[in-house]
A = this chain, B = another copy of it.
Amino acid sequence: MRVIVPFDPSDPNTRLSSLLAPTERREFAAAMLADVLDAVRAAGGRPELLASAPLADASTAVRDAVGDAPVTVDERSLSAAVNAALADGLPAAVVMADLALADAAALASLFATTGDVVVAPGRGGGTNALVVRDDAFEVDYHGVSFRDHVAAAEAVGASVATVDSFRLAVDVDEPADVLDVLVHGDGRTSEWLRDHGFRVAVEDDGPTVVRDA
């Protein structure tokens, strides 16, 4: 299966700004991308990077993560870029680059689920991964995209299935998500966090992320 992985090489994960400096955010995003691409390949997918800016300025870490995966640069909105990529051939999956906990089993389950449109929800109403087998379906990541994607599929008469996966539901874009990576991750992302002083501490309210100086 073609697997389109949208990626922002220029200013990724802005909502982690309270936790990470700009350079760190780029390194962290590269580690997540590497983990996602590894998991896609381990699940039998053929990843294609869909970058929102040229990789010319991207770090060595990003280029190492991408390896021999094809790269397309499309500076339009995420939805427009993904729809253009989907038009290049179905079936295809779209997997977000910040799914640091995605593993081969979860992605293989996504790819194997039957349905014209298969959606793996993200927290907060989002769509973290999907499979498209009907060329009348278009993505729209604005708004409550999970609900919108189900409605859009039904509107074109496409069958819809959902995939129930914690590992696919965690997109790492807020500080609270970093805790889940530290607890459940075993790839480059959790290694990067530990190497940069992050760990889980237990406080009165429960587990939290702290950073050692």
A contact residues vs B (CB 8 Å cutoff): 105-106, 121, 123-126, 142-144, 146-147, 164-170, 176, 179-180, 183-184, 200, 202, 206-207
CB <8 Å contact, A125 and B166: no
Residues of B contacting A125 in the complex (Cβ-Cβ under 8 angstroms): 179-180, 183, 200, 206-207
Nearest B residue to A183, CB-CB: B125
State the majority secondary structure of interface residues on A.
helix
Counting every copy of the chain, the complex holds 2
Residues of B contacting A168 in the complex (Cβ-Cβ under 8 angstroms): 166
20 A-B contacts, Cβ less than 8 Å apart?
A: A105-B164, A121-B166, A121-B183, A123-B170, A123-B180, A124-B179, A124-B207, A125-B180, A125-B183, A126-B206, A142-B202, A143-B206, A143-B207, A144-B183, A144-B207, A146-B184, A164-B167, A165-B166, A166-B168, A166-B169
CB <8 Å contact, B124 and A206: yes
Residues of B contacting A147 in the complex (Cβ-Cβ under 8 angstroms): 183, 200
Q: Which one of A105, A142, A166 has the highest number of Cβ atoms from chain B below 10 Å of its Cβ?
A: A166
Q: Which one of A168, A183, A184 has the highest number of Cβ atoms from chain B below 10 Å of its Cβ?
A: A183
